Amino acid sequence: MNDNRTAADDGVRPNDASEPTHPDAAAPCATPTDFVTSEGMFDVPRFHAALDALFAAHRTDAVEQFLLDALAETDDLGDARGRLSVLAELIGFYRSRGRHAENLPLVQQSIELALSLGLEGTPEFTTTLINAATELRAAKQYDQSEDLYRRAIESAASTLPATSHDLAALHNNLALLYQETNRNDKAIPEFDAALEILERCGDSAVDVASTHSNLALTLLALGRSDEALDHARAAVQAYADPSIDSAHEAAAEATLATVLFRRGELSGSQAHYDKALSIIRERYGEDSEYYRVTKDNSDAVRDAIAATAHGAHDGTAPHVADADPHVASSSADAADDDSSATPAEPAAGSSADATVRTAHVVDPMTGLRLARAYWEECGKPLIERSYAGVRSRIAAGLVGHGSECYGFDDTISRDHDFGPGFCIWLTDDDYAEFGERLQRDYDALPQTFHGFGPRLESDHAGKRVGVFRIGDFFESVTGLRQAPDDDALWVTLDEPTLSAATNGQVFADPVGAFSHARQAFKSMPEREILRRVSQRLGMASQAGQYNLPRMVQRGDMPAARLCTAEFCTAVTSLVFLVNNPLTVGYMPYYKWQFAALRRLSSRPGMRLTGVCAELEALTACDPASPHAATLVDSVCREITYALLDLGWTRSTETFLEWQRPYVEELMTTNP
């Protein structure tokens, strides 16, 4: 790996998900055979220059094949170091596309290749560890990711200068892992370390500002709003220098707006959201997802200001926390300044209907957090103590039925199937060897933990925690021991069932057997996705565009409300399908449909994020009102535009039944 790429690149090229691709754009597109030096080796600098040119021309459509061809060329040349460089780029590209199942074998290859080249004790090996750890973090294999980050820090001690920008990125990455696993207290020292290094480097005001923003959000999550405010202001202040021109400034402004909102300083919050919107409008335009989600946050603050003014007039004290805006962490490991600016996530409620708000959990101890803590403090030590020889073959986590597996549980959920517990998954051979003994040891773990327990279990719920054969676990949820290998069998699996099989978190999976099986259930064939999309278009059209007005005309309001419910379910399912279940999972059963849709809609780069607030408003209004008809029409228009954007239709017709032939036509061309 003889180039000058750094760990701060994080293996990711500047290919923002919201950025349109232009296949016809004129761009230099060298072939990998051009990258052969006079010595017959792979020319890594020229390879990187050509790859940069593809991204600069928005030719993301051509990147994957370019990388695969380059990988093959390194094999033909027998250049192992060149292969390691290409692998780093391919891993980053697949990670940016959420293609973790394909990436995990490449991660293993990269580490093995670096070891075979004798790179231990070099900056290249440190970079390889960081890239591998970051992919595992993205794939939510947090235990393995944390181990690799720790190894990278050990390696960096002897391979990277104390003022290295790469070392700061490493601490930032580890801090982000702690954020994602709800260990904000551990994230703070890592962000502090990164900040100290960056300030000593003095060469990246944007990275300093992003780290201040991340620290602000972490401190805010811990209730330390005074310190959060200091860091949020420092992030904004970094852009006072007119020589710094970066779209990351919008994320800093949005972070400060959120902190001020939490502190009840509504007018200040509004001012900083306005500044963020101004920057985004200039950089991306008002039709970007970045603009829309930040606008939603701004509107939520504006609603809160109006509610406060109303409360001042009628003597009530308004409670505005339900409209609380959120800001995504500023990615410290982004590769490119302007294309990687992190958008603010949309508010829980939208200005489409100010009366519709998201309920918030007061007690922060959810079932997933309890399960992870129980694993970390009780389960993991048991495995390390009594199963050291086989611990690399033991997977653990919490997946399956129950609101806690979705992360939607609250204090109301604790009346059944709640308490200390987690799942352990073994292959058939390992279960035969030590599964029953491990179950006995699991049963002997403390029944109470952190003030919770013993675990309450419903008689009818079946076994939800403990030791499972992998096949048995999936059979208990789906009726199948593994994902269908026949397209016809996919028809038998409804989306709530698939959602239960693929939700939750995997805390540890060293060999990846469970994660591979779980990922297979998320990998719905494209033909099946298209078939379901066609069905949902038909149901949405029948329920919302055809039968709803007819039932209203008949004066049958109960039937009209059923039409509304059917329309909302069909559209929610469609939103998950068009965003690809491999990336976003599946729509859960009816109880959590809106909670899941809100969460999906808050993620940057998603399609149809605007329909969530419209569906919520539709459920809250009179089906006979003109507003209901307007909302249905708006949702159907957005769906049509999304189909056009995907290339799944050639028609602008908003009566969704008429879109079905175009979608079904693709099923014949994608057998």
Report, as an integer, the average pLDDT of 398-409: 84
Q: What's the sign of the alpha-carbon dihedral 371, 374, 377, 380?
A: negative
Distance between CA atoms of 671 and 666, rounded to whole angstroms?
9
Could you tell me the pTM of the whole model? 0.51
> Could you name the CATH architecture of 162-347?
Alpha Horseshoe (1.25)
Q: How confident is the model at residue 33 (pLDDT cuts 50, 70, 90)?
A: low
Report, as an integer, the average pLDDT of 567-577: 97
The domain ranges of the chain are: 1-160, 162-347, 367-522, 526-669
How many other β-carbons are positioned within 10 Å of the β-carbon of residue 57? 16
Q: Closest by alpha carbon to 583, among 97, 12, 20?
A: 97
Task: Give the least confident one: 152-161, 362-371, 538-547.
Answer: 362-371
Q: How confident is the model at residue 438 (pLDDT cuts 50, 70, 90)?
A: very high
Same fold, 1-160 and 162-347: yes
pLDDT of residue 87: 92
Q: Closest by alpha carbon to 171, among 138, 136, 207?
A: 207
| CA–CA–CA angle 58, 64, 69 (5° rounding) | 125
> Could you name the CATH architecture of 1-160?
Alpha Horseshoe (1.25)
| CA–CA–CA angle 258, 259, 262 (5° rounding) | 85
pLDDT digits (tens, 9 = 90+) for 67-96: 988 888 888 888 889 999 999 999 988 887
Residue 540 predicted with pLDDT over 60: yes
| H-type alpha helices, 288-379 | 289-314, 367-374
Q: Closest by alpha carbon to 610, among 304, 296, 301, 276?
A: 296
